[in-house]
């Protein structure tokens, strides 16, 4: 870190130093040397594998994407996916979630058997600190489509026994894996297809508003994985 004060262009106040990286944390897995090396090797292997594949399209949002968007203040991105031969609506795209979640009511509606669940040893906590029951997790083939092109991926869902107006919550694990980018301004999610084209899934704004308002009224929440309950 530099300590000599400098004057950067566009800043009237002198800059006294630079912070290049933040060390530590859990973004790269566990805090052990072996886990850090394993994570680094995985990143390098992923970059090499991606460079060998067909070039992916640039995922950009333009003014044309706003033409069918109703002006809004804070609507979430809510899409539909296909899994187990059924089209599932009310799927919340949440980049702040560290897990892909399927709620127990959806699990039952898909007529899945509890015998398909594998045990999960972690803990799931809501934003208010309440512990959520996790019967287990399972992997399901899930399809994203814009009625022209489709992308099929296996998603490991944590099945949680908690009330929610959403059926599924898509978090960072699958969004990063398929290279998807969601925009609440443009009310769309875009991802590259295997053929090198771009898939655009539109958010249902009416359903997004309804789910969001119902969550506020009934205090039904969205959950995130933590190793310890949040501090009071």
- Give 222's DSSP letter: -
Q: pTM here?
A: 0.70
The per-residue pLDDT for 76 is 87
Pairing of strands 168-170, 101-103: antiparallel
User: Confidence class of residue 71 from pLDDT cuts 50, 70 and 90?
Assistant: confident
d(CA 32, CA 64): 47
For the chain, list the strands marked E by DSSP: 78-83, 86-93, 101-103, 124-125, 131-145, 150-161, 168-170, 181-183, 188-192, 198-202, 224-225
d(CA 68, CA 93): 19
More confident: 77 or 46: 77
Pairing of strands 224-225, 101-103: unpaired
d(CA 203, CA 187): 5
The per-residue pLDDT for 214 is 62
Residue 82 near residue 142 (C-beta atoms within 8 A): yes
**How does pLDDT run across 167-209, given as a tens digit for each residue?**
999 998 999 999 999 998 999 999 998 888 899 999 887 766 6
Whole-Å CA distances, 9 to 3, 4, 14: 18, 16, 10
Say which range, 49-58, 110-119, 149-158, has the weakest mean pLDDT. Answer: 49-58
The per-residue pLDDT for 217 is 56
**How does pLDDT run across 5-53, given as a tens digit for each residue?**
555 555 566 666 555 433 333 333 444 455 456 545 554 555 555 545 5
Please give the average per-residue pLDDT across 117-121, as a whole number: 89
Residue 141 near residue 153 (C-beta atoms within 8 A): yes
User: Confidence class of residue 216 from pLDDT cuts 50, 70 and 90?
Assistant: low
Q: Is the pLDDT score of 149 beyond 70?
A: yes
d(CA 186, CA 164): 25
More confident: 132 or 52: 132
Instruction: Collect all residues with Cβ–Cβ distance below 8 Å to 225 and sequence separation of at least 6.
Output: 98, 99, 122, 123, 124, 125, 158
Residue 77 near residue 189 (C-beta atoms within 8 A): yes
Tokens, residue 76: 């979430």
d(CA 124, CA 126): 7
The per-residue pLDDT for 98 is 81
In CATH, the number for domain 63-225 is: 2.40.70.10
The per-residue pLDDT for 38 is 56
d(CA 186, CA 136): 35
d(CA 85, CA 223): 26
């Amino acid at each position: 870190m530099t300590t000599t004060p400098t004057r950067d262009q566009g800043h009237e106040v002198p800059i006294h130093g630079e912070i290049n990286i933040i060390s530590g944390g859990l973004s790269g897995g566990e805090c052990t040397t072996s886990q850090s090396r394993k994570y680094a090797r995985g990143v390098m292997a992923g970059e090499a594998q991606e460079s060998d594949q067909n070039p992916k399209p640039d995922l950009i949002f333009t003014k044309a994407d706003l033409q069918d968007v109703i002006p809004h203040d804070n609507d979430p991105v809510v899409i539909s996916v296909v899994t187990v031969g059924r089209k599932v609506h009310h799927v919340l795209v949440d980049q702040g979630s560290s897990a892909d979640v399927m709620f127990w009511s959806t699990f039952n509606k898909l007529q899945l058997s509890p015998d398909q669940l594998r045990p999960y040893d972690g803990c799931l906590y809501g934003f208010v600190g309440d512990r959520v029951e996790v019967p287990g997790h399972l992997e399901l083939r899930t399809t994203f489509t814009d009625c022209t092109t489709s992308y099929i991926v296996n998603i490991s869902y944590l099945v949680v026994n908690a009330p929610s107006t959403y059926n599924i919550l898509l978090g960072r694990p699958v969004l990063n894996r398929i290279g998807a980018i969601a925009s609440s301004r443009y009310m769309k999610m875009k991802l590259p297809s295997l053929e090198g084209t771009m898939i655009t899934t539109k958010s249902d704004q009416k359903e997004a508003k309804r789910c969001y308002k119902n969550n506020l009224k009934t205090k039904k929440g969205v959950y995130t994985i933590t190793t310890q309950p949040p501090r009071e």
